[in-house]
Amino acid sequence: MRYSSIILLASSATAFSLPDLSAIIPLFTRRDGGGGGDSGSGSSSGSGTCPSVWTNVSKELTTKFLSGGQCNPDARAAIRLIFHDCGSWNTAQGATGGCDGSLILAGELSRSENKGLAAIAGYVENMATKYNVGVADMIVFAGSHAIVTCPGGPQIRTYVGRKDSTTPAPDGLLPDVNAPAADLYKLFQDKGFNAVDLAALIGAHTTSNQFNFNTSAAAVGLPQDSTPGLWDVKFYSQTTNPPKGVLVLPSDAKLAVHPVVGKEFSGFVNNQGKWNGKFADAMGRMALHGSNGAQGLVDCTAALPGATNTKREMRGMPLFAPRH
């Protein structure tokens, strides 16, 4: 029996083992679009001791997500997966929906906005079965693990103990890559996020490559900043001044110049520490969507890799390491 008795814009999806890169699209999009700091505070503290199984899960995920000193396509897929499961939520749903595993368990993979997620979803579901834990918890833990596995990424406050759900999430709650900035801002406000949160969360596109937004031969596979294997702030400067080889998504371009969100967006340019802190806080709260805060959950943040480890990996990484 899976451990579920107690109880999200990012990146691109990919296959496991031998990635089907043609299926990758940027994270947290609808229709045809893309996908060190302190730990996120999330909400109130959980209770109990983290089951030791999550330490074993973490070791396996490190092998899966880290290649040549950089986070690879599997890591980017896991980041997109957590956004799409947890992000299909708004405050009106309260302690239901959100991070509940329905993306995998309720047939949501067939939705157009989730195109390209089937392979990583299959891997995550198999991991949940292998380690006898909940699918919802594995989605969240894998997403948090992938973020900190990327060199420079923050450690996100991560809880386990969710209840899996086979009830599909409401449609229309994920951002459309072609939507006006005002609509995107309102969509995130309905999820409990302010302008700072939104500007920080879309920075996860630093690890994104697009495959389905622009399907021209020259554009397929292009990243949203020049270092998709690293968790850095180049996305913020390169969205408004993209170098050759970087594709800017319409939603990112619009938010970068939005009168409210744009001010926060520009505040992250060349400011890694500020961004990591704001991102970790917002992501920690997203990972509790559909829960009553952290009540009844167990804090397993300590089972994740430490951010200091990824910094060491980055220092030892070849200057021109291959992208993944």
CA 112/CA 30 separation, integer angstroms: 7
* Residue in 84, 258, 289, 324 annotated catalytic: 84
The answer to whether 225 is annotated as binding is yes
The answer to whether 205 is annotated as binding is yes
Task: Judge whether 84 counts as a catalytic residue.
Answer: yes
The answer to whether 55 is annotated as binding is no
The answer to whether 102 is annotated as binding is yes
The answer to whether 49 is annotated as binding is no
CB 288, CB 8: distance < 8 Å: no
CA 207/CA 280 separation, integer angstroms: 16
- For residue 211, CA distances in Å to 35, 126, 169, 215, 250 come to 9, 25, 25, 6, 14
Binding-site positions for Ca(2+): 85, 98, 100, 102, 206, 225, 227, 232
Binding-site positions: 85, 98, 100, 102, 205-206, 225, 227, 232
Binding-site positions for heme b: 205
Residues involved in catalysis: 84
